């Protein structure tokens, strides 16, 4: 084989790998910040949402923690807006320019959080400014998922779409783990007062170099193969059409038929988005319960120290990261349905025993470590095949918009509200097992939707 032939044969593989890296690095930046915010929720509550100095986990701190999670949830409710806005841009203008814009907006908003003055410095304006930056993050995060998953799955080699899509979830795990690890390191090396006074800013400021790397990778990216614009309806007023020449006024004219086609496509998109929400609600709820809400739950409800809570969260994210890529690769071999159903049913069966183990005063540290590792790994069984499963539900012309909306709406309801709902329900009912009920209930609701998956979808080419 000639050198030119060797080079051209290797080019598709290297291009796919570059697309995989460029698509996934933005997710790392996004979820790094969400991990940091979740792990430092009690510190943020004390700095921004507590009028007087409050102690995280104390009576005054619980109300501040609720407001902190309300701000957290508000950002999630702007994700669908971002998914619709940037999804339409991604479907019409291309994946590359859209992904550049969203990672730039995410990086800017996260860095600005690290520079914000606290409530002690500027009063009631501080929580409002923080909430505004969280809204900007929600908008950019809403556009990130649809564009990144579309990019990675459209570049995936045959038979590896599940593995390539799983990298999106894997970099989510890396981002959460990096955020939790950074917060845990700071909590270990800094005194508690220093962490609350200025140390909490460091993880947010570190998003700036991470975002710069993501921007560099994405500016060098090529658009995925295939048309960058959505498919257009065929001309219905062609002179040789059986319907005759252009008749704009008739009930069967081309304008009316075009509207009918567009309405049918809109209904089809809405049905697919609703089904996608049903399929991933368990992934969303269980993921945030075990991977993000866990630190404040362990502190406020079980009396754990900040360091212990962050260590447990890091272990849960290790288990999550370890299972994602194998789950995605396995779904390429046996299908998305059996892998995701196994994860959902396992969470339904094991959530309550795992939470009871964490609550048990007689449980050894090793048993508790095993519990959080297993909880994270079970979520990985859903998150590994999930992105490819969503990509397979939508045609290319609406893929960014469709899968982005399904993911963003699910996260707005089941992820963004997880901390708020769990904290409020525990405060009102006094039942520390609320997180288990929340995760298991959402997974139980997901199972009927997961049963509608076809056995052969993973073998078919993307539409």
Do 290 and 316 meet the contact criterion of CB atoms below 8 Å apart?
yes
* Token pair listed for 302: 């079980």
CA dist., res. 211 & res. 30, Å (int) = 9
Q: What angle do CA 333, 334, 337 make, to 5 degrees?
A: 130
Alpha helices in 94-160 (DSSP H): 95-115, 119-122, 125-155
Longest dimension (CA), the chain: 82
Q: Is residue 1 part of a domain?
A: no
* Token pair listed for 246: 């252009």
Do 78 and 138 meet the contact criterion of CB atoms below 8 Å apart?
yes
Chain-centre distance of CA 344, in angstroms?
A: 17
Residues of the chain with pLDDT under 50: 1-10, 53-60, 227-247
Q: Is residue 243 part of a domain?
A: no
CA dist., res. 146 & res. 152, Å (int) = 10
Q: Is residue 239 part of a domain?
A: no
CA dist., res. 456 & res. 224, Å (int) = 24
CA dist., res. 411 & res. 72, Å (int) = 11
CATH of the domain at 344: 1.20.1250.20
Do 399 and 267 meet the contact criterion of CB atoms below 8 Å apart?
no
**Residue 66 confidence (pLDDT):** 66
Q: What angle do CA 71, 75, 79 make, to 5 degrees?
A: 160
**Residue 53 confidence (pLDDT):** 44
| Torsion, CA 239, CA 240, CA 241, CA 245, rounded to 10 | 20
Do 142 and 101 meet the contact criterion of CB atoms below 8 Å apart?
no
Q: Is residue 241 part of a domain?
A: no
**Residue 234 confidence (pLDDT):** 38
Residues composing the chain: 463
Q: Is residue 48 part of a domain?
A: yes
The DSSP 8-state label assigned to residue 47 in this structure reads I
> Which domain, by its residues, includes 415?
15-221+263-459
How does pLDDT run across 100-122, given as a tens digit for each residue?
888 888 889 889 999 999 888 88
Give the total number of structural domains in the chain: 1
DSSP string, 317-358: HHHHHHHHHHHHHHHHHH-HHHHHHHHHHHHHHHHHHHHHHH
**Residue 332 confidence (pLDDT):** 92
Q: Is residue 250 part of a domain?
A: no
Query: Residue 368 contacts by C-beta under 8 Å, 6 or more apart in sequence?
Result: 312, 357, 358
DSSP string, 214-277: HHHHHHTPPPPSS-SSPPPPPPS--TTSTT-S--TTSTTSHHHHHHHHHHHHHHHHHHHHHHHH
Look at phi and psi of residue 440 and say left if phi exceeds 0, alpha if psi is from -120 to 50, else beta.
alpha
* Token pair listed for 391: 């990509």
Q: Is residue 5 part of a domain?
A: no
Task: Name the residue among 430, 209, 203 with its Cα closest to residue 310.
Answer: 203
Q: Is residue 161 part of a domain?
A: yes
| Torsion, CA 99, CA 104, CA 106, CA 108, rounded to 10 | 180
């Amino acid at each position: 084989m000639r050198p030119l032939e060797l080079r051209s044969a290797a080019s598709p593989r290297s291009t796919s790998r570059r697309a995989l890296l460029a698509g996934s690095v933005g997710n790392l930046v996004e979820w790094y910040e969400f991990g940091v915010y979740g792990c430092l929720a009690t510190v943020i509550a004390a700095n921004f949402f507590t009028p007087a100095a409050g102690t995280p986990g104390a009576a005054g701190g619980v109300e501040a923690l609720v407001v902190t999670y309300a701000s957290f949830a508000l950002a999630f409710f702007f994700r669908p807006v971002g998914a619709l806005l940037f999804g339409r841009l991604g479907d019409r203008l291309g994946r590359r320019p859209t992904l550049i814009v969203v990672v730039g907006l995410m990086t800017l908003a996260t860095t600005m959080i690290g520079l914000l003055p606290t409530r002690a410095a500027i009063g009631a304006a501080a929580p409002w400014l923080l909430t505004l930056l969280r809204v900007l993050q929600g908008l950019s995060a809403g556009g990130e998922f649809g564009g990144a998953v579309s990019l990675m799955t459209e570049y995936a080699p045959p038979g590896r779409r599940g593995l390539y899509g799983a990298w999106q979830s894997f970099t989510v795990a890396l981002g959460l783990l990096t955020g939790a690890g950074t917060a845990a390191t700071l909590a270990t090396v800094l005194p508690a007062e220093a962490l609350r006074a200025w140390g909490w800013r460091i993880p947010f400021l570190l998003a700036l170099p991470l975002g710069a790397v993501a921007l560099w990778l994405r500016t060098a990216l090529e658009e995925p193969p295939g048309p960058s614009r959505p498919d257009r309806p065929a001309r219905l007023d062609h002179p040789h059409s059986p319907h005759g020449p252009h008749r704009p006024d008739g009930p069967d004219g081309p304008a009316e038929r075009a509207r009918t086609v567009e309405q049918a496509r809109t209904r089809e998109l809405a049905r697919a988005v609703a089904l996608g929400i049903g399929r991933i609600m368990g992934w969303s709820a269980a993921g945030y319960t075990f991977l993000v809400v866990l630190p404040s739950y362990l502190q406020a409800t079980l009396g754990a120290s900040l360091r212990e809570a962050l260590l447990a969260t890091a272990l849960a994210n290790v288990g999550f990261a370890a299972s994602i890529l194998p789950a995605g690769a396995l779904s390429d071999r046996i299908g998305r349905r059996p892998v995701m159903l196994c994860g959902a049913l396992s969470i339904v069966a094991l959530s309550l025993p795992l939470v009871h183990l964490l609550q048990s005063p007689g449980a050894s540290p090793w048993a508790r470590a095993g519990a959080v590792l297993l909880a994270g790994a079970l979520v990985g069984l859903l998150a590994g095949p999930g992105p490819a499963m969503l990509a397979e539900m939508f045609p290319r012309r609406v893929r960014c918009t469709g899968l982005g909306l399904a993911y963003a709406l699910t996260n707005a309801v089941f992820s963004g509200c997880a901390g708020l709902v769990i904290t409020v329900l525990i405060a009102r009912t006094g039942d520390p097992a609320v997180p288990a009920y929340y995760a298991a209930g959402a997974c139980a609701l997901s199972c009927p939707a997961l049963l509608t998956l076809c056995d052969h979808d993973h073998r078919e080419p993307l539409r």
